Amino acid sequence: MPELKQEIRLWVSSGCGNQKNCRYPYEKVVSTTEDLKTAVAFDHTFISFKSNYRNEDNFEFADALAVDCDNGHTDEKDKWIRSDDIAMAFPDVSFVIYTSRNHMKDKGSSVARPRFHVIFFIDRITSAADYKALLKRVQDYFPYFDTKALDAARFFYGNADCEITVQEGNTNLTQFFSEEDAFANMGEEIQEGSRNASMFKWAVRSMKRYGNTEESKKCFYLQAEKCNPPLDDEELQTIWRSAARYYKKIASQPDYVPPQEYNNPGPTKWVEPIPFRKYKMEEFPVDALPADLADYVIEASESTQTPVDMAGTVAISMLSTCEQGKILVEGKPDWREPGNTYAEIILPPSERKSAILNAMTPPINKYEIQYNNRNAAALEANKMQKRILERKQKSIEDQIAKGKAEPEELQQIAQEIADFVELKPLQLYVDDITTEKLVSVLSDNGGHASLISSEGGIFDTLAGIYTKNVNIDVMLKGYSGDTIRVDRIGRESECIMHPALTILLMAQPSVVSDALSNTTFRGRGLTARFLYCMPDSNVGK
């Protein structure tokens, strides 16, 4: 069992593959590869945390720094990073490589490739900020390490079948970067013991600036004159070839800037800056509305002295209320969307939101009243018929129980009740309502309804009592037309096959801000379903 250059201190959990676990109660100090393999068979971390609870705020210290290399930068095998590349990039540095659980396995859409962790020995760090800074520096220096694993609460999944490679050097990562800093400002001589590493760094630095050219090679040999004692030409050529191989991998990175472009950038390609003054929005496309409705929108806006955006957005919602459930919009042969809309007009108080709503809704209010008046007698007759059937049902049940009626009579009444269709008054839109009642309104109206309000109270209701299991499914399914099925103890079951819900809210910025900040609304896609209108205020104009 090969010994390690230095002891490695790590903390392990009792399980393997548990992403949610934060407790690492077992401290292990390993000095052989066999002991290390036994330890990393469990989920583990190389950081000591207070109370053994993994959290950046609990960071105590670390004697080692571990990073990931998943080779996700390319699918070309000859460009994959291996242990030799790590040794080349960090010459004379001691480190340990052990393969991860997905090593040489297909992972998602990525084909099998080398995937491993690298443990660097470091001087003890007692600050989470310093630890993250070192992680960032390592990744900047060697960009093939995982950019998503740069926090100070990092853990690694266990792998009982890992393969371990030990690279013995004479320095650790902390000292390496100290020498790197000194190298950037080094004097006239490169002393024995640091010549190869220093010249390798200088070769790579020259190629980054000039490419693999004669100019960069000339700089390299000029620098070699500072070596004391001098390196022979064969050794220098070996260093140059190693640096060239490493530089070739760097140059293959997608975000690599070639020397000719870096040194001669030409005109800066900036996007047009956004001025600090308030951005001028495009005017509302009134002409897109039918001619008569466009004229009405303009006149209503002029009469109420409000932005035309308000009346235009309300007009779209009124049209949606009238046609929802009657049409589908076909983007292409296999893609159809319902025509109902969700809209939100955002303005501060005293912007005459109610005034414009009152100017736009009378046609719908008038139609609803006329329809219910025209069908008032039929509605009342329907109620009476329902009461009669209920009495007949009760009567026949009593007679059957007493043996005074035939089963055929019961069957006849049961059929009449099954055939009965209850009529409800037309209710085209609602305002102050709960989500449970909204389902009932949709059911009573043949699956169609609108929520129209001059306030954003529904968001206040949902955000304030969501923890009490308010169901927002009706808001989600009413938009896309997905079937709504509700079964609750104490109420009749409801099934709406193709719901179509229109929503128009006129809310203050603070209400909308709270809604957009609600992780539940955002995570389930509720806020993304809305068209947002934020017109310029006309107050004072």
For residues 41-53, b (16+ Cβ closer than 10 Å) or e, as one string?
ebbbbbbbbeebe
Interhelix angle for 435-444 vs 473-480, to 10°?
40
Q: pLDDT tens, 250-298?
A: 777 665 667 666 555 555 556 666 665 555 667 788 888 888 888 898 8
Q: pLDDT tens, 14-36?
A: 999 988 899 999 999 999 999 99
In which band, very low, low, confident or very high, does the pLDDT at 183 lie, cut at 50, 70 and 90?
Answer: low
Q: Do residues 96 and 118 lie in contact, with contact meaning Cβ atoms separated by under 8 Å?
A: yes
Residue whose C-alpha is closest to residue 413's, from 380, 385, 444: 385
Beta bridge partners, 59, equal 49
DSSP code string of 48-77: EEGGGB--GGGEEEEEEEEEEE--TT-S-G
Mean pLDDT over 332-336 rounds to 84
pLDDT in the model for residue 437? 83
pLDDT in the model for residue 228? 85
Q: What are phi and psi of 384, to 5 degrees?
A: -65, -45
State yes or no: pLDDT of 466 exceeds 50: no
Most confident option among 39-43, 327-331, 437-441 = 39-43
Tell me how far CA of residue 156 lies from CA of 18, 54, 98, 382, in angstroms.
10, 12, 11, 69
Radius of gyration of the chain (CA): 36
For the CA atoms of 8, 11, 15, 19, the dihedral, rounded to the nearest 10 degrees, stands at: -110
Q: How far apart are CA 302 and CA 538, in angstroms?
A: 11
Q: What are phi and psi of 473, to 5 degrees?
A: -60, -35
Bridge-based pairing state of the strands 26-32 and 335-338: unpaired
Of the chain, the percentage scoring pLDDT greater than 70 comes to 89
Of the chain, the percentage scoring pLDDT greater than 90 comes to 23
Residues whose CB falls within 8 Å of the CB of residue 307, separated by 6 or more in sequence, listed in order = 284, 301, 535, 536, 537, 538
For residues 470-496, b (16+ Cβ closer than 10 Å) or e, as one string?
ebeebbbbbbebeebebeeeeeeebeb
Tokens 């309804």 locate to 449
pLDDT in the model for residue 187? 52
State yes or no: pLDDT of 431 exceeds 80: yes
Q: What are phi and psi of 446, to 5 degrees?
A: 70, 25
Q: Is 81 left (phi over 0), alpha (psi -120 to 50) or beta?
A: beta
Q: How far apart are CA 517 and CA 510, in angstroms?
A: 10
Least confident of 38-47, 79-88, 223-232, 246-255: 246-255
First to last CA, the chain: 84
pLDDT in the model for residue 155? 94
State yes or no: pLDDT of 467 exceeds 50: no
Q: How far apart are CA 104 and CA 183, in angstroms?
A: 38
Max CA distance (Å), the chain = 123
Q: How far apart are CA 535 and CA 289, in angstroms?
A: 18
| Structural element, H or E, at residue 377 | helix 376-402
More confident site: 488 or 132: 132
User: How many Cα atoms are found within 13 Å in the side-chain-facing hemisphere of 454?
Assistant: 14
State yes or no: pLDDT of 461 exceeds 70: no
Q: pLDDT tens, 127-159?
A: 999 999 999 989 888 888 888 778 899 999 999
pLDDT in the model for residue 127? 93
Q: Residue 106: exposed, middle, or buried by beta-carbon count in 10 A (0-12, 13-18, 19+)?
A: exposed
Mean pLDDT over 77-96 rounds to 87
Q: What are phi and psi of 203, to 5 degrees?
A: -65, -45
Residue whose C-alpha is closest to residue 121's, from 2, 1, 7, 3: 7
Q: How far apart are CA 188 and CA 441, in angstroms?
A: 86
Q: Do residues 199 and 236 lie in contact, with contact meaning Cβ atoms separated by under 8 Å?
A: yes
Q: What is the pTM of this model?
A: 0.47
Q: How far apart are CA 414 and CA 115, in angstroms?
A: 70
Q: Which amino acid is at 96?
A: V
Tell me the residue ranges of DSSP E strands in 133-292: 164-167, 190-191, 227-228
Tokens, residue 206: 């020259």
Average pLDDT over the chain, rounded to whole?
83
SS (H, E, C) 459-490: HHHHHHHHHHCCCCHHHHHHHHCCCEEEEECC
Residues whose CB falls within 8 Å of the CB of residue 429, separated by 6 or more in sequence, listed in order = 321, 364, 449, 450, 451, 452, 502
Least confident of 53-67, 374-388, 470-484: 470-484
Residue whose C-alpha is closest to residue 92's, from 121, 69, 124: 121
In which band, very low, low, confident or very high, does the pLDDT at 119 lie, cut at 50, 70 and 90?
Answer: very high
In which band, very low, low, confident or very high, does the pLDDT at 97 lie, cut at 50, 70 and 90?
Answer: very high
For residues 287-305, b (16+ Cβ closer than 10 Å) or e, as one string?
eebeeebbebbeebbeebe
Q: pLDDT tens, 303-316?
A: 888 888 899 999 99
Q: pLDDT tens, 500-537?
A: 889 898 888 877 887 787 777 888 888 888 898 888 87
State yes or no: pLDDT of 425 exceeds 70: yes
Mean pLDDT over 38-56 rounds to 94
Interhelix angle for 376-402 vs 362-374, to 10°?
50
State yes or no: pLDDT of 195 exceeds 90: no
State yes or no: pLDDT of 10 exceeds 60: yes
